[in-house]
A = this chain, B = another copy of it.
């Protein structure tokens, strides 16, 4: 099956819709997640943790403003975490007081400048998984909301959010990355804009992308708080047979078929 035959959104969000609702998620979890199931659930957790962490609804635009300004201190990943946790630290205290947000500045440039996952995506996944909790904590929603954020980021025409007092005054070119990777996202934008990595425009573009991610993240968290969140997230590895994003042809000339594992037949009783 060539990826050319598939509508990307159709495949990913089609699959996501299959998983919607408690029954669907349970099916995804027990059936599709062969690679993701716990084989050793008896081990004592290293850090106990109690989930979900207390959450109060936040204002998306206010959060985006904080994220935008924090980018100039903590860059993409740290700024997304800070934009949510700094407010919750004031509103609810608790576990947010002890979380070492500043250490996550290293997510900049796709993890220490290596161009892997955009730090704003990593930061959003840290936020959803810390607030809603890990799937071994009782709910897969944190991981699926994080996955939905990666998909949303890949399809968004970025940057979306225009800060109230931008450091670069003019509108900036917008591009769609088709990828959650920093290298592809920043590279696509640099090519379209002709602006170098160290330019004020590139920096402000990444600050606005970070703000855009924080805005949408809080929209989803607020829906979840209201009990109205229906995930569009999936774990694409369970669909493709390899950890991957969904548009293989962006890098591959043709889609390789990963080897398939056939479990041995069950022993006779």
Contacts and interface: CB of A to CB of B under 8 A. Distances in A.
Interface of A: 34-36, 38-41, 43, 45-49, 51, 69-70, 72-75, 78, 81-82, 85-86, 89, 95-106, 108-117, 121-122, 125-126, 129-130, 133-137, 142-144, 146-147, 150, 180-183, 186-187, 190-191, 193-199, 202-203, 233, 235-238, 241-245, 251, 256, 258-263
Given A35-B203, A183-B244, A243-B183, A237 B113 contact: yes
Most buried by B among A78, A129, A251: A129
Contacts of A194: 259
Contact of A180 (B43, B116, B136): B116
The complex is assembled from copies of this chain, and their number is 2
Contact of A122 (B38, B51, B98, B111): B111
Contacts of A134: 78, 102-106
Nearest to A122: B111
A144 to B, nearest CB: 8
Given A105-B136, A116-B117, A242 B186 contact: yes
Contacts of A106: 125, 129, 134-135, 142-143, 146
A242 to B, nearest CB: 6
A98 to B, nearest CB: 4
B109 A237 contact: yes
